[in-house]
């Protein structure tokens, strides 16, 4: 279907992107397709499927989380939804949110996604004496991150940063997760 | 008003954030307020006001831009709205968008915001011989970025990355900007 | 099934990892499970599935690519298989491969994965005058990267760096892809 | 007014910058204006105004802070004024100030700006056991940073680094803030 | 022998790589050899030999370590083998392994390689009060890293990250090391 | 003299800084001096003197440069003065200057300082075919940077970024340099 | 004198470097001089002189420090001499020194240079509870760094990393400093 | 032999380093040895030997290169010797050398080491149209880098940066290489 849309133009798969970006500004005719040798297709036994939160759901979640914070008179937060690979899916920075809230929201979201538990729970496991999981790169064990699970597997996380108390951050993140629940339809 | 909301608890201004994050996970009572000496208040002549796109509008814009790309059978793009300081306000990564589209969308958005013109127009000014503005850090002169102006001053930009042709990226970015126009209410 | 394996110990999902790393060195009893509130489960319509190359297949592919280079008297290369999110799945550095071959192999692999075409084909589209897709962050348009597609969607790439000619790099990368093809079983 | 200055030359808004930088060295005639389609103008309800410290005031503040340190026989400090987005507005490095004082001054200033309180006060809230706000990226909870507030909202911070005691750093930062106060005119 | 393979083409030593990459995509004739003045050859007394783990052995080790983890129902780990210079030799990322496990595995492996002892042993030496070796850049003192020694000299390390307990990570790393032992032939 | 100022308190040389920062917030008594073994003093023949621009002069220069730009209706620029080691001495960011102007100003200033010539002159030497000095890390060969020389040796540079034409940037930078000239006293 | 050496060729000051690097490989005639407008010369009151360790002395010091470690059967260390601006002046990496010893040696050297005291003394001031100077960017408070002072001002530091005990590292660093002392001539 | 030196103290191999650094400042008794399980020893067929330039030779080479530049009235250069893994072995920064010369010298040295040819020769292969090996991360194709080969294999490189002409840089680098030649004993 996608390929059909590109008929006569680009060899358009989900993976063929931006090829003609270099060619010209808006208005230039679409570039000719990339001609490639017959693609090698991996056999089915070499492939695994992985669940992810869709972009539509991701947008719904971060908006719900921000709305909760705004209702709580905490508009100056950043909300992020990231996957298990640490990549942001959706992000909203509240008006007047300070700079570090962006990275804090991402890291809380990632930490929850990677460990499959709220960061408020994970934080209890770190006593501060000697090396700990708090040393792991890209993680942040402050309250405000909650995981999203599909079939018992953590596939993403929502993180909020900027409220004056981590419990307030977490309430917003949870509101974001709730917006995706079956009952929330 | 915001301060009122925090009466009896935290000294809550737009700028007092996360102070109690370290104290405890969700459920812990809100921390006592930070006691500070009387704040020094800058005299009015030391202050300048700057217009920005609100977070609500930012979310509306990136959703409109993504919707346009989805309607064009280009769901695998990333859309970003950033301010003149290069900080992301809102971001949506389409399903199956490749990693580089995140940074590309941000950089196109920033470039348009910083120079106050669509990146497709700016790109025409670079001939590739010798040093050029393309060497400036944090910029990307590929089509797909458009500026947002208030009172003739560029205050933000919308950028899209991932379509197989820059003109397609730009059409989505423009749809995002249109969603904020007066007539779009 | 996975959860069952952890019965009586950790709340073990694919997403619960390393929680007890901080607790103690080898020999310490397994930590008690993280107790969390009932997880919020996203409704099915909020979830999308994505195909990936399994780790077993990834290992097979990079070994096949390296074997081809060794057979061609080019043992000093690095081979990498990365996904569309730019994350490495498998990597082998040949004996005496120079440092830059690691990053080069990853970037070639990513570029092929992101654009769904061999880097040798993509390179033909860049004429070097003015801005181009070669400016996109994390990409490298030198021969030696080939994509892996499932159902017409590019999901990963194999990249090779270090041979004295890009065509030689590409031959090895192609050998890696061939090792995953249906006929290669 | 600004646009008028550029009449017949560049389409000159506050946001159109450096367009012709690539064209030629000093002496080259000013480049022709970027021609763009009618700009999309966001409706007023999509815009928020934010107060900032002007560059003139920023310069005055860092000079006052440095003067205080010099008077205290502490000339080897760096003074920085940064906004809530972590971007430096003004910076002075005292003679013989060590390298790290630059980043330390910026981080102290940012931390005060983001949390709306002096870093000396904020530091008291961190007990060092387990995760804390000291883990937040880009922050530094050592004395020497003070916030600047407008209408009760923290909009910037001044930070000083390099004195042998944090209280000495803070005294200089405070002198910088005092220079902007209403009574200081 | 290697040079012979390139006869008539490139001056092909282990150190001459990728020279023709710039010339053309696959199919282009091999580029002419680089003509250089007579190479200066360091006298023998200026040279030291250093032992390393071969790439074949490195691949064998990471596969064995991953197999152990998979057998233990811990497929979501990353395994890395790095040398004393911190450079990865071989890496496998298990299906669904979270992002941080990549860097964690590398850092554990490096730490073991650099200090010549398992990270679980090294961690016991850090009490958390004041500066410690845990502050050294690029190191991670969590269980899961084991050294590989030749003639009593540590030349490499294997690291595993992602299991819910460091002892489980270490068991996999040890299995990787065992696969290289004399008795394992 | 400096040491005298610290008598009874810290061992205060130009090089003893911030030692007590960790001890306490403002108000804490000054920490006891660091007791060290007799310092080793390098013999005179091991020492070289190097000229630098003082911080007072640096502040004067960046203010003069910004004033020129403001007079030219170009208030949205950043001005930086950096030394030959690439470290900023003074920086002012004009109101509404875009983010990249900070780094651009620093890099232009450094480039002029390092090569001892205005960047507008240096740019003429780069023809864009093949490798060039434009590839050197940390440099930027766009007009707007001018060197400062003492006894014929380039010791610093002033850089300006953000004007719509490099010649305009350079005029401001030159005004900054002129403010330091003998005749400018 | 330097300028004389370049008569008829490049405008050769200490600050004019590499201008012709872009022009051609070895053998190409020296490029024509950069023609610049009359340089602006800062008035004397705008200039400060700063003492530094010469490169010859720096080389002597790092060789002496390494020789001490080799005599102590600790050949696997790295030795660095850096200035107060954190820039390396001389560095030697012992045979088989692990990767992190490079950065560790630099950071110890810088810390001693910046604070004007041995890192072993400075470390005693950090108790590990709450924020401390150990949080300052680019510093490392492990034994092995010693300062070099001229006229009571710390101008550089020597750092050693890699010995199994910090006291051993420090002994080598001290030997390096001793090699520059007046009595060491 | 090395182990013998540590008898009764640390388990001292070339790979056991800095273990006790955390324990105490200078003067503290040597820490007890790390007790580890019987080390796993890789079988001989899993090991490869690699030649490197010794640290003594590396120091000799960079001193000879700098001496040549000083004799040529070019004292303001940096000289570096790096291995094929991009790690610096020895580095000297000449008096008044600008900051970028450090990285430039390292990158030239690495490029020569990785490709086994002088950078002046390699540069001739890049015509500047489209992607090229100049895009490879960590490389710099400006004259001034020469390789060092053992048994026909490139094992290291010497790089010089800062002279006003690349041919002058290369002459110094070559002098450094010559100092290691058999005839130079």
Both tokens assigned to D168: 């000495």
- If asked whether residues G103 and G14 sit together in one domain, one would say no
How many CB atoms neighbour CB C88 within 10 A? Answer: 24
Nearest C-alpha of chain A: how many angstroms from B14?
6
For chain D, residues with pLDDT lower than 70 are 1-38, 40, 128, 182-185
Tell me which chain B residue has its CA closest to the CA of residue C156.
B98
pLDDT bucket at G41, cuts 50 / 70 / 90: confident
Q: Share the mean pLDDT of chain F.
A: 81
The angle that helices F166-178 and F100-115 make with each other, rounded to 10 degrees, is 60
Residues C88 and C179 in one domain: yes
pLDDT of residue C130: 83
> What span, in angstroms and rounded, lies between the C-alpha atoms of C90 and E81?
12
Nearest-CA distance from E101 to chain C in Å?
A: 9
Residue from D41, A17, A87, C122 nearest B169 by CA: A17
Q: What is the ipTM of this complex?
A: 0.82
What does residue E82 show for φ and ψ, rounded to 5 degrees?
-125, 160
Instruction: Write down the pLDDT at residue F183.
Output: 57
pLDDT of residue B38: 55
Q: Is the pLDDT of residue A7 over 70?
A: no
Same-domain check for residues C104 and C147: yes
Residue E77 phi/psi, 5-degree rounding, is: -115, 165
The count of domains in chain H is 2
> B with C: how many residue pairs have Cβ under 8 Å apart?
53
Quick one: how far is CA C105 from the chain centroid?
10
What pLDDT score does H38 carry? 55
Nearest Cα residue to A27 out of B118, F141, C150: B118
Nearest-Cα distance to chain E for H37, in Å, is 9
For residue H96, the chain F residues in CB contact (below 8 A) are 50, 84, 153
The pair of three-digit structure tokens given for residue F106, joined into one six-digit string: 């620093």
Q: Do G25 and H54 touch (CB under 8 A)?
A: no
User: Does residue G150 share a domain with residue G99?
Assistant: yes
- Percent residues over pLDDT 70 in chain C: 76
Q: What is the mean pLDDT of chain H?
A: 81
pLDDT tens per residue across span E58-103 = 999 999 999 999 999 999 999 999 999 999 999 999 999 999 999 9
Q: Domain containing D176 — which CATH number?
A: 3.30.450.150
Alpha helices in E72-178 (DSSP H): 100-115, 119-123, 166-178
Q: Are E175 and E169 in contact (CB under 8 A)?
A: no
Of H17, H114, H178, Cβ closest to residue E15: H114
User: Measured between alpha carbons, how far is residue H172 from residues C151, G14, H86, H161 in Å?
Assistant: 57, 17, 20, 10
CB contact under 8 A, A15 and C115: yes
Strands (E) across D54-135 are located at 78-83, 88-93
Confidence at residue B183, expressed as pLDDT on a 0 to 100 scale: 57
> How far is it, in rounded angstroms, from Cα G53 to Cα G36?
32
Which pLDDT value is given to residue C38?
56
Q: Which has the minimum average pLDDT: A95-104, B95-104, D76-85, G37-46? A: G37-46
Name every residue whose Cβ is closer than 8 Å to that of residue B29 and which is 6 or more positions away in sequence: none
* Under 8 Å between Cβ of D177 and D146: yes
State whether G21 and G59 are in the same domain: no
CA angle G66, G69, G70 (to 5 degrees): 85
Shortest distance, CA H16 to any CA of chain E (angstroms): 4
Within 8 A of A170 by CB-CB distance, chain D residues are none
Indicate whether A84 and A140 sit together in one domain: yes
Higher-scoring residue by pLDDT: C19, C176: C176
Res G128: pLDDT: 67
Interface residue of B21, B33, B39, B109 to substitute, partner D, most D CBs within 10 Å:
B39
Q: What is the per-residue pLDDT for E8? A: 23
Collapsing DSSP states into helix, strand and coil, what is residue B102?
Answer: helix
The boundaries of the domain holding residue H33 are 2-46
| Amino acid F41: pLDDT | 78
* Chain A, chain B: beta-carbon pairs less than 8 Å apart: 209
CB G175 within 8 A of CB G160: no
The dihedral sign for the CA sequence A44, A50, A54, A59: negative
End-to-end, the C-alpha distance of chain G in Å comes to: 28
| Predicted pLDDT at G95 | 97
| F126 plus F37 within the same structural domain | no
Nearest Cα neighbor of B174 from F2, A26, E166 is A26
Tens-place pLDDT, residues B144-163: 999 999 999 999 999 999 99
- Helices D100-115, D166-178: axis angle to 10 degrees equals 60
Q: Quote the pLDDT of residue D76.
A: 97
Q: What is the C-alpha separation between F164 and C152, in angstroms, rounded?
A: 46
CB contact under 8 A, D138 and A100: yes
* E strands present in chain F: 47-53, 78-83, 88-93, 145-150, 153-161
Q: Which of D83, D131, D132 to mutate to test the interface with A (most CBs of A within 10 A)?
A: D131
Angle between helices A166-178 and A100-115 (to 10 degrees): 60
Per-residue pLDDT averaged across G94-115, rounded? 98
Which residues of F lie inside 8 Å of B (Cβ-Cβ)?
95-96, 98-100, 103-104, 107, 123, 126-128, 134, 140-142, 161
Of C96, C99, C140, the CB nearest to H135: C140
The answer to whether the beta carbons of residues A158 and A80 sit under 8 Å apart is yes
CB atoms within 10 A of CB B44: 10
Alpha-carbon distance of C59 to E58, in angstroms, equals 12
Contact partners, residue H90, CB within 8 Å, separation at least 6: G91, G92, G93, H55, H58, H59, H61, H62, H80, H81
Residues H100 and H27 placed together within one structural domain of the fold:
no
**CB spacing of E149 vs H125 below 8 angstroms:** no
Both structure tokens of G56: 């010859």
pLDDT on residue A40: 66
- Shortest CA gap D11–chain B (Å): 9
pLDDT(B26) > 50:
no
Instruction: Work out whether the CA dihedral H171, H177, H183, H185 comes out positive or negative.
Output: positive
Residue A133 binned pLDDT confidence (cut-offs 50, 70, 90): very high
Q: What residues of A are in contact with residue B52 (Cβ under 8 Å)?
A: 95
**Residue A28: what pLDDT?**
29
pTM: 0.86
Interface of C with H (CB under 8 A): 95-96, 98-100, 103-104, 107, 123, 126-128, 134, 140-142, 161
What per-residue confidence (pLDDT) applies to E38?
55
**CA triple B143-B148-B151, angle to 5 deg:** 145
- List pLDDT tens digits, range F32-64: 444 445 576 788 899 999 999 999 999 999 999
Residue A64 and residue A8 share a domain: no
DSSP G67-97: HHHHHTT--S-EEEEEETTS-EEEEEE-TT-
The Cα–Cα gap between E111 and A102 comes to: 31
Query: What pLDDT digit, counting tens, does each position of F135-155 carry?
Result: 999 999 999 999 999 999 999
In this prediction, residue E43 has a pLDDT band, given cuts at 50, 70 and 90, of confident
Tokens 């459920």 identify what position? B27
Q: Which residue has the higher pLDDT, G31 or B132?
A: B132
pLDDT by residue (tens digit) across C94-140?
999 999 999 999 999 999 999 999 999 999 999 767 899 999 999 99
Q: What is the pLDDT of residue G1?
A: 21
Closest CA to E150 of C76, H32, C75, H45: H45
pLDDT per residue as tens digits for the range G82-92 = 999 999 999 99
Using a pLDDT cut of 70, give the percent of chain B over it.
Answer: 76
Write the residue in D103, D123, D128 that is nearest to G137 by C-beta: D103
Together in a domain, F40 and F81: no
Using a pLDDT cut of 90, give the percent of chain B over it.
70
Tokens of E31: 């580029």
- pLDDT tens profile E99-118: 999 999 999 999 999 999 99
Q: Which residue has the higher pLDDT, C149 or F15?
A: C149
Q: Write out pLDDT tens, residues F164-174.
A: 999 999 999 99
Share of chain C above pLDDT 90, in %: 70
Q: What angle do CA F1, F3, F4 make, to 5 degrees?
A: 65
Question: How many angstroms separate the Cα of A144 from the Cα of each of A122, B112, D170, G139, G172?
Answer: 11, 33, 32, 31, 48
Same domain, F76 and F18: no
- The residue of chain G nearest to residue E112, with distances taken between CA atoms, is G98
Residues of E with CB under 8 A from a CB of G: 48, 50, 84-86, 110, 113-115, 128-133, 135-139, 153
Nearest CA in chain B to C47: B95
Distance (Å) from the C-alpha of residue E102 to the closest C-alpha of chain A? 10
pLDDT value of residue D88: 97
Segment holding H150, helix H or strand E = strand H145-150
Shared domain check, H111 and H76? yes
**Contact call for G19 and F125, based on CB within 8 A:** yes
Residues B84, F99: contact at Cβ < 8 Å?
yes
Q: Give the confidence band of A129 by pLDDT, cuts at 50, 70, 90.
A: confident
Q: Kindly state the average pLDDT of the residues C58-86.
A: 97
Residues from chain E that touch A114, judged by Cβ atoms under 8 A, are 98-100
CB C68 within 8 A of CB C168: no
Collapsed DSSP state (helix, strand, coil) of residue F58: helix
Q: Over 80: is that where the pLDDT of A50 sits?
A: yes
Q: pLDDT band at F75, cuts 50/70/90? A: very high
Return the partners of chain D (3 or more C-beta pairs < 8 Å).
A, B, F, G
**Does residue E5 have a pLDDT over 60?**
no
């Amino acid at each position: 279907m996608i390929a059909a849309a590109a008929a006569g133009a680009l060899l358009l798969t989900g993976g063929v992107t931006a090829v003609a970006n270099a060619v010209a500004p808006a208005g230039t005719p679409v570039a000719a397709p990339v001609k490639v040798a017959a693609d090698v297709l991996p056999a089915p036994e070499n492939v695994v499927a992985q669940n992810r939160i869709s972009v539509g759901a991701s947008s719904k979640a971060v908006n719900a989380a921000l709305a909760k914070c705004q209702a709580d008179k905490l508009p100056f937060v950043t909300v992020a939804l990231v996957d298990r690979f640490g990549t942001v899916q959706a992000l909203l920075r509240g008006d007047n949110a300070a700079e570090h809230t962006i990275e804090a929201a991402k890291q809380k979201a990632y930490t929850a996604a990677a460990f499959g538990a709220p960061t408020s729970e994970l934080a209890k496991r770190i006593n501060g004496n000697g090396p700990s999981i708090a040393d792991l790169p890209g993680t942040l064990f402050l309250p405000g991150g909650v995981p999203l699970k599909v079939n018992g597997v953590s596939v993403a996380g929502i993180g909020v940063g900027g409220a004056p108390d981590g419990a307030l951050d977490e309430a917003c993140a949870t509101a974001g997760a709730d917006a995706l629940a079956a009952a929330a339809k």
